[in-house]
Amino acid sequence: MQASNHSDHHDDEERKNATFGSGSPLGEVPESDAIIDANEPTPEDERVEALLERATIDVPEFADAVEQQEASDAAETLEQIGGAAAVEVIEEMETESAAEALAHMHPSLAVSVLEDLIEEDPSYAGKLIEEMEPDDATDLLQNLSDASRDRLLGTLGKVEAVKFRRLLEYPEKSAGGMMTTDYLAVRDTMTVREATEAIRRADSGEDWLYVFVVDWRGRLQGRATMRAMLLADPSQRVTDICERQVDAVKPGVDRVDVAREFEKYDYLVLPVVDEEDRMLGVITVDDVVDTIRQEGTESAQAMVGAGREEAVFSSVADKLRGRLPWLFVNLFTSSIAAIVVLQFDGLITSVALLAVIMPVIANQAGNAGQQSLAVTLRGIVLDEVRDGSALRLVRREGIVGVINGTICGVIVGLVVGGIEYYQHPESMMWKLGIVVGISMTLALAVGTLVGSSLPLIVRRCGADPATASTIFLTMVTDSMSFFVFLGLASALSGWIGIVSN
């Protein structure tokens, strides 16, 4: 009976301290200063802004202020001051704070800062790398020059250097390149009590929700939630409370496929295993979010012929290297449309109105093609476009193009025909409106068909469907629009009443 009373008293204490989803801990009133408005600048941010407004910056004082900021905010501050100033501030900061800020900086700027640090003090640069999460550190190491990377790795301890060299063996855009080796794992022979003690002693920088269970060879045997560990009988074996069937990926899987799996199944963390199911690392959802953002940015830039890896802070050389080749390609493709127009120079000389209408039709066709291209690329990225549905997609887009083209063609044709009839009622030039309407319909139909089929054709050839897609789309839509309109006007010149020079 006394034991029962003690248990009831203990439960009452638990209830007093329990937190419910719809309220506060029972018996407690939350303090007003416990809530921070996420949209308002913090006192630390305001202090940094005040220091930035000074004519000169005291580096030690400024570094102390940046240390007090959240890592992501500190990264933005360092990006704002940039270059040599950011290097000076980082050198004055505590190693842990500097490493976190550097890891949150834009990759191209972070790599630039790290390169400068390696030149000035490679041992300090090595300490920063050691303080980072393994996946963040590997991302930076992968983008360093070979000489800088080797120099930095030479400052690390043997164990750390071997760890990073192994991570660097995986392609940057693969599951292995995304994973971190910082995770919680316990042996399958442990009891819950032993596993809990091992977790307490673990040196991990992450707030993990899961504990992975492995055998003596490191092979994945299951996964247990922290909640299950807390509620389980301490004498139970961890294998009795863990999930025995665990989804995992191989290190060579493309990061886009990994992101798709996270999106489809709402994973928070996914283990990476080798061919023998030995744990290599884990991929967390925050890394997947970064991947989705990077892929979207790279695809958008690739569509217009900018460098995939180019960023706002990239060097002039990197920007030229990424853009100039595609500008040469665009120069060639645009000349094709110019050659088409040149074949009808006499017709254009006779009727100046043709030169006014040509870009209108080409622009509409290009816009229609861009719409179709964007929808198709989105479907490819989200894995909505499968081999069996590709033909239906192109057919549907073609129908949309014909309908839109007909509507736009009728409107523009009536406007052109009306203007010509009003200005020259005695001539037959009002018939040019009919030619404009037909040309607009055909051009928009071609634009949507090309816009929807171009990414599918490029993907079938094994290339990235986004690469310079707008350049080739513009080439086709401009050339076809000019050819259809001018060709139709030339063929019907006698009926319209055009006298060619």
Are 235 and 88 members of one domain?
no
Judgement on whether residues 370 and 453 belong to the same structural domain of the protein: yes
Share of the chain above pLDDT 90, in %: 25
Lowest-confidence segment of 31-35, 116-120, 288-292 by average pLDDT: 31-35
pLDDT tens for 40-49 read 778 888 888 8
Least confident interval from 30-34, 233-237, 448-452: 30-34
CATH code: domain of residue 277: 3.10.580.10
Q: Residue 284: which domain range?
A: 185-303
The answer to whether residues 450 and 363 belong to one domain is yes
476 within a domain of the structure (yes/no): yes
My answer on whether 225 and 144 are in the same domain is no
Tell how strand 185-187 and strand 210-214 pair up.
parallel
Structural domain contains residue 336: yes
Strand partners, 187: 214
* Final residue of a structural domain among 303, 325, 352: 303
Domain termination residue (choose one: 303, 331, 357): 303
45/153 same-domain check = yes
Q: Quick one: 37 exposed, middle or buried, by C-beta within 10 A (0-12, 13-18, 19+)? A: exposed
Give CA–CA dist 498/427, Å, rounded.
10
CATH code assigned at 457: 1.10.357.20
Residue 187: DSSP 8-state? E
Whether pLDDT at 323 is above 60: yes
> Quick one: pLDDT at residue 353?
79
- CA 457, 461, 463, 466: dihedral to nearest 10 degrees? 0
Let me know whether 286 and 334 are in one domain.
no
Q: If we measure between CA atoms, which residue out of 4, 5, 287 comes closest to residue 134?
A: 287
For residue 191, what pLDDT is reported? 94
Cβ 209 vs Cβ 269: under 8 Å: yes
- Tell whether 49 and 159 lie within a shared domain: yes
Residue 3 has pLDDT above 60, yes or no: no
- Reported as type and span, the H/E element at residue 214 is strand 210-214
Q: Which residues pair with 174 in a beta bridge?
A: 254
Regarding whether 483 and 334 lie in a shared domain, the answer is: yes
Burial per residue of 118-155, b for 16 or more beta-carbon CB atoms within 10 angstroms, e otherwise? beeebeebbbbbbbbbbbbbbbbbbbbeeebbebbbeb
**Residue 12's pLDDT band (cuts 50, 70, 90):** very low
Same domain, 379 and 330: yes
- Tell me if 335 is assigned to some domain: yes
**In angstroms, rounded to a whole number, what is the distance separating the alpha carbons of residues 209 and 27?**
28
**Cα–Cα nearest to 196, from 172, 155, 162, 226:** 226
Which secondary-structure segment (H or E) carries 224?
Answer: strand 220-225
In a domain, 14, yes or no: no
pLDDT at 334 over 60: yes
C-beta separation of 371 from 451 below 8 A: yes
Question: Average pLDDT of 411-415?
Answer: 87
Token pair for residue 322? Answer: 């990424």
Q: Is residue 10 included in any domain, yes or no?
A: no
Q: Across residues 167-188, what is the average pLDDT?
A: 90
Q: Is the confidence at residue 18, as pLDDT, over 50?
A: no
Ramachandran sector of residue 217 (left: φ over 0; alpha: ψ -120 to 50; beta: rest): alpha
Tokens linked to 172: 């940057």
**Whether 247 contacts 265, CB under 8 Å:** yes
Mean pLDDT score across all residues of the chain: 82
Lowest mean pLDDT among 45-49, 193-197, 441-445: 45-49
pLDDT in tens, 468-483: 678 888 888 899 999 9
Residue 24 lies in a domain: no
Q: What's residue 5's pLDDT?
A: 44
The continuous run of DSSP H or E covering 453 comes out as: helix 432-460
Q: Which residue has the higher pLDDT, 169 or 377?
A: 169
Task: Tell me the pLDDT tens digit for each residue of 415-433.
Answer: 887 877 777 666 666 778 8
Higher-confidence position of 411 and 384:
411
Spatial distance between the Cα atoms of 272 and 261, rounded to a whole number of angstroms: 13
In a domain, 479, yes or no: yes
**What string of DSSP letters covers 460-477?**
HTTS-TTTTHHHHHHHHH
Domain check: are 94 and 215 in the same one? no
pLDDT of 298:
63
Q: How far apart are CA 480 and CA 454, in angstroms?
A: 15
Using one digit for the tens of pLDDT, what is the confidence trace for 92-151? 999 999 999 999 988 888 888 899 999 988 899 999 999 998 888 998 998 888 899 999
CB 78 within 8 A of CB 106: no
Q: Write the CATH number for 61.
A: 1.25.60.10
- Tell me whether residue 179 is in a domain: no
Q: Are residues 47 and 124 in the same domain?
A: yes
How large is the average pLDDT for residues 258-267? 88
Task: Give the count of domains, the chain.
Answer: 3
**In the chain, % of residues over pLDDT 70:** 83
**Whether residues 149 and 190 fall in one domain:** no
13: pLDDT strictly greater than 50:
no
Average pLDDT, stretch 245-270? 90
What was the pLDDT predicted at 286? 85
Domain-ending residue, one of 243, 278, 303:
303
Closest CA to 132 of 209, 202, 198, 71: 71
Beta bridge partners of residue 224, listed in sequence order:
211
Q: Is residue 456 within 8 Å of residue 465, measured between CB atoms?
A: yes
Question: pLDDT category, 20, cuts 50, 70, 90?
Answer: very low
Q: Cα–Cα distances in Å, from 378 out to 20, 25, 354, 371, 375?
A: 41, 45, 36, 11, 5
Size of the chain, expressed as the number of residues it contains: 501
User: φ, ψ for residue 440 (rounded to 5)?
Assistant: -60, -40
